[in-house]
């Protein structure tokens, strides 16, 4: 217990001092290792061990695929197609923001990448059409929350690698919850648009719809190829990420012909810098989690909860509340790597499906992407819209309600997550 107290004590002090999360975890682990008289090299060994995982190879590849899809024009064509289909509805651009992000979620696996790709196109267009900068940022940010939920998902890759759960089942399990959340948010947009009398775009003709669909077909096919290949057993999720990169290059260079060689290496550099940041967090969290496991923290958590009655629904509600709070303060990957070793053994002990548990955690933590003070998507969209965080927070509140409602829905009805993976892969294989 002394080790756990010291570990979290040092970690919280460093966080209060505004030390970056990865350095805070590594430093607190180093302090505990030195205090316990273990070799100094243990921390570095655990950092290296933490990133030495084949499933994690999907992380840099999906990040690069997201960069290339934006660079190659796929995201632009998808936004234009969504606008052609929905622009004539009251507040149509707000609906387009959610639907285009829903489609983009099937390409990149990261909410920040989706927000940057679609936000750069849609936010200026929304402001020009009379939407406020804060609302434009809010609806775009809320839509980007779908990125880690609808497959593929970098957060699910991290959870699957940490808990030894099938990433393919996690990907398929996120499809229905993501669709539910998108429907709830579209309903919110419709209510806001009606109350504020937001404008409608001219209704597209059949010819315009056909042309837009033809231009966007390559982008629409990308998630079908990626997820269809995983569901069909053609390739693993990690191999799917490399397929996504190759497909993005092919479409950008040979179909749309907008990707220039001079822009390729800067895109690779941006994705690799972000990969380095994520992998450092994963490695540092690995040393942190190893010390928790060595201190018997999972058993202490399990015994403590069982002493309160051990009701599975109560456990899920407590986990949701805890993750919602943590999601406002820390990055998703870091939270997953700290809490999964603590909570996953207890969830299996309570008979909770590991795929459901992973999707629920991912959905809960994704909400933190648009909440102060560290919501990464929030900073991306407010930067594009030049909106104040206070105004953004007020405008995004109704969408947060919709997201929380979707969280409650899947928590109360886990079958919404598990039925599709069981249908595709067969029951009992996790």
Write the pLDDT tens digit of every residue in 293-350: 777 776 676 677 766 667 888 889 888 988 888 887 777 777 888 888 888 888 888 8
C-alpha span between 232 and 57 (Å, rounded): 21
- C-alpha gyration radius of the chain: 22
Query: Is the Cβ–Cβ distance between 285 and 334 less than 8 Å?
Result: yes
Q: How confident is the model at residue 16 (pLDDT cuts 50, 70, 90)?
A: confident
Q: At what angle do helices 41-51 and 21-35 cross, to 10 degrees?
A: 140
Confidence label for 429 from pLDDT (cuts 50, 70 and 90): low
Rounded-to-integer distance, Cα 102 and Cα 145, Å:
9
430 pLDDT higher than 60? no
Residue-level pLDDT at 357: 94
Q: What is the pLDDT of residues 91-135, one digit of tens each?
A: 778 888 888 878 777 666 666 767 776 777 778 888 887 888 999
Residue 181: the pLDDT is 93
Please name the helix (run of DSSP H) or strand (run of DSSP E) that holds residue 420, with its range, or none: helix 415-425
Distance CA 188, CA 197 (A): 14
Q: Are 174 and 424 in contact (CB under 8 A)?
A: no
- pLDDT at site 183: 93
Give pLDDT, residue 22: 82
Q: What is the pLDDT of residues 244-273, one digit of tens each?
A: 888 888 888 888 887 777 778 888 888 888
Q: Is residue 68 included in any domain, yes or no? A: yes
Q: What is the pLDDT at residue 184?
A: 94
Q: Is residue 351 part of a domain?
A: yes
Does 43 fall in a domain?
A: no
Residue 290 lies in a domain: no
pLDDT at site 355: 94
Supply the pLDDT for residue 106: 64
Mean pLDDT of 145-157: 84
Domain boundaries, position 148: 55-274+297-425
CA distance 168 to 166: 5
Share of the chain above pLDDT 70, in %: 94
Q: Report pLDDT digits (tens) over 369-390.
A: 888 766 778 888 888 888 888 8
CA distance 200 to 261: 39
- Residue 146 covered by a domain: yes
| pTM of the shown model | 0.81
Write the CB contacts of 253 (distance below 8 Å, at least 6 apart in sequence).
72, 259
In a domain, 240, yes or no: yes
What pLDDT, on the 0 to 100 scale, is given for residue 409?
Answer: 94
Q: Mean pLDDT: which of 16-20, 171-175, 299-303 is highest?
A: 171-175
Give domain status of residue 23, yes or no: no
Q: Does residue 418 lie in a domain region?
A: yes
The predicted structure's pLDDT at residue 328? 78
The domain total for the chain is 1
- The pLDDT of 237-250, averaged and rounded, is 83
**pLDDT tens digits for 201-217?**
777 788 888 888 888 88
Per-residue confidence (pLDDT) for residue 264, from 0 to 100: 81
Residue 376 to residue 112: CA distance in whole angstroms: 7
What pLDDT does 295 receive?
76
The predicted pLDDT at position 179 comes to 92
Tell me how far apart the alpha carbons of residues 144 and 109 are, in angstroms, rounded to a whole number: 10
pLDDT over 90 at 401, yes or no = yes
pLDDT surpasses 70 at 1: no
């Amino acid at each position: 217990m002394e080790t756990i107290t010291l570990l979290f004590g040092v970690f919280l002090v460093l966080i209060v001092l505004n030390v970056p999360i990865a350095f805070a975890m590594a430093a607190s682990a180093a302090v505990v290792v030195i205090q316990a008289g273990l070799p100094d090299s243990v921390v570095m060994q655990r950092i290296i061990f933490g990133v030495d995982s084949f499933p994690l190879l999907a992380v840099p590849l999906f990040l690069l695929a997201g960069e290339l899809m934006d660079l190659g024009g796929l995201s632009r064509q998808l936004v234009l197609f969504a606008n052609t289909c929905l622009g004539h509805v009251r507040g149509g651009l707000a609906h387009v923001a959610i639907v285009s992000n829903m489609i983009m979620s099937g390409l990149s696996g990261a909410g920040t990448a989706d927000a940057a790709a679609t936000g750069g196109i849609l936010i200026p267009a929304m402001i020009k059409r009379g939407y406020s900068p804060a609302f434009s940022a809010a609806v775009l940010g809320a839509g980007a929350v779908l990125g880690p939920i609808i497959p593929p998902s970098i957060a699910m890759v991290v959870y699957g690698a940490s808990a030894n759960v099938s990433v393919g089942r996690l990907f398929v399990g996120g499809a229905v919850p993501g669709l539910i959340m998108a429907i709830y948010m579209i309903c919110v947009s419709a209510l806001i648009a009606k109350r504020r009398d937001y404008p409608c775009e001219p209704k597209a003709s059949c010819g315009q719809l056909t042309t837009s669909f033809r231009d966007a077909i390559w982008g629409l096919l990308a998630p079908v190829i990626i997820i269809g290949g995983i569901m069909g057993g053609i390739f693993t999720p990690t191999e799917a990420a490399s397929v996504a990169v190759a497909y993005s290059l092919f479409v950008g260079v040979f179909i749309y012909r907008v990707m220039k060689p001079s822009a390729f290496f800067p895109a690779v550099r941006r994705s690799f810098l972000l990969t380095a940041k994520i992998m450092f967090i994963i490695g540092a969290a690995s040393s942190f989690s190893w010390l928790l496991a060595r201190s018997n923290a999972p058993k202490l958590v399990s015994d403590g909860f069982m002493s309160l009655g051990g009701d599975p629904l109560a456990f899920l509600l407590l986990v949701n509340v805890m993750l919602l709070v943590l999601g406002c303060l820390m990055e998703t990957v870091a939270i997953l790597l700290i809490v999964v070793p603590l909570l996953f053994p207890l969830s299996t002990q309570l008979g909770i499906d590991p795929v459901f548990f992973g999707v629920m955690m991912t959905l809960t933590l994704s909400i933190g992407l648009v909440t102060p003070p560290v919501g990464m998507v929030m900073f991306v969209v407010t930067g594009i819209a030049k909106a104040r965080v206070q105004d953004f927070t007020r405008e995004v509140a109704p969408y947060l309600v919709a997201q929380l409602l979707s969280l409650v829905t899947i928590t109360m009805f886990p079958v919404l997550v598990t039925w599709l993976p069981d249908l595709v892969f067969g029951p009992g294989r996790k």
